[in-house]
Amino acid sequence: MQHSEMTAKVADGDGFIAALDQSGGSTPKALMGYGIQEGAWSNDEEMFGLIHEMRARIISSPVFTGKKVLGAILFERTMDGEVNGVPTPQALIAKGVVPFIKIDKGLEDEANGVQLMKPMPTLDELLSRSKDLGVFGTKERSVINSANAEGIEAVVKQQFEIGAQVISHGMMPIIEPEVNIKSETRAACDTLLLASILKHLDALPDGQQVMLKLSLPVVPGTFDPLVEHPKVLRVVALSGGYSRAEACAELAKNKGIIASFSRALLSDLRAQMSDEEFDAALGEAIDAIYKGSTQKTAAAV
């Protein structure tokens, strides 16, 4: 796929984006969910080797194709690794799946009800290397814990500044200001976030676009103005701690928003499964998430 083909697929394709980007702090939890207990590795290299084996197994599965999976977000080490002897981004492209890379380095401590992204001093180098490997876009995550207008504006401002840096490398940023679904002020967070994002979208230079990865809103349809905005290539949703069934049900209520799930995609997969069992479990998850992404409930149409 050429860059223009990837853009068209992400913009208009039926399907969802798989989030295969768990990094350092979340890797042990992801491995435990996969049936590999702590103690199965003795250092970080072995730990990341195990998580790469899991991701390679997913990508290699015959049910993981571009027919229902539009794209996949990779952790940097996964991007730099191989799947069946082929660089991971190229292995995805060969299956019709558009590759993205997680670029944030984690979160700062909470201030004003939010957690900003930590500094990324080597981002330009990472972006250049990623693009050379065929990666289409990036993903960068912040967290909003409470409805603090100053904090939410700081999150969105930082996200769009990093997005501009990504765009300067000819890549597509997925801006992810995640609202904590356990927040007691979720609905107010959604409202403040919408207003801030719209302001920054309107300030984008003509001809530039971003993608948005958002928590599913309390009130379905809240983010319709973002779905319809000409400077947004696509809006995707994170599962945010919901079970797969809950996340898919909420997703189906929001027209034009597709999934970018991690836990909800991987929750039933186990290292001990046979290939047949693994492919069946992965296929069931893909089908459910595809349905939530493409078949919207009457209230959302």
Active-site choice (140, 153, 176, 250): 176
| Domains of the chain: residue spans and CATH | 3-300 (3.20.20.70)
Q: What is the pLDDT of residue 195?
A: 98
pLDDT over threshold 90, residue 218:
yes
Q: Which of 164, 162, 223, 160 is nearest to 189 (CA)?
A: 223
- What pLDDT is stored for residue 20 in this prediction? 93
Per the listing, tokens 């209230």 go with 299
Instruction: Give the closest residue to 239 by CA, choosing from 7, 9, 17, 72.
Output: 17
176 is an active site residue: yes
**Residue 301 confidence (pLDDT) above 80:** no
* pLDDT for the residue numbered 298: 59
Per-residue model confidence (pLDDT) at position 36: 94
**Is a pLDDT exceeding 90 seen at residue 94?**
yes
Half-sphere exposure of 162 (CA within 13 A, CB side): 31
Of 56, 29, 101, nearest in space to 267 by CA? 29
- pLDDT attached to residue 22: 73
- Tally DSSP H helices, then E strands, for the chain: 12, 11
What is the predicted pLDDT for the residue at 28?
Answer: 85
**Catalytic: 213?**
yes
Reduced to 3 states, what is the DSSP secondary structure of residue 47?
Answer: helix
pLDDT digits (tens, 9 = 90+) for 141-193: 999 999 999 999 999 999 999 999 999 999 999 999 999 999 999 999 999 99
User: Rounded CA gap, 30 and 272, in Å?
Assistant: 15
Distance CA 120, CA 227 (A): 29
Q: What percent of the chain has pLDDT over 70?
A: 98
Model confidence at 299: pLDDT above 70: no
- The pLDDT value recorded for residue 25 is 66
Give the model confidence (pLDDT) of 15-54 as tens digits. 999 999 876 567 888 888 899 988 899 998 899 899 999 9
Give kind and range of the element (H or E) at residue 141: strand 137-144
Which residue in the list 9, 131, 213, 296 is annotated as catalytic? Answer: 213
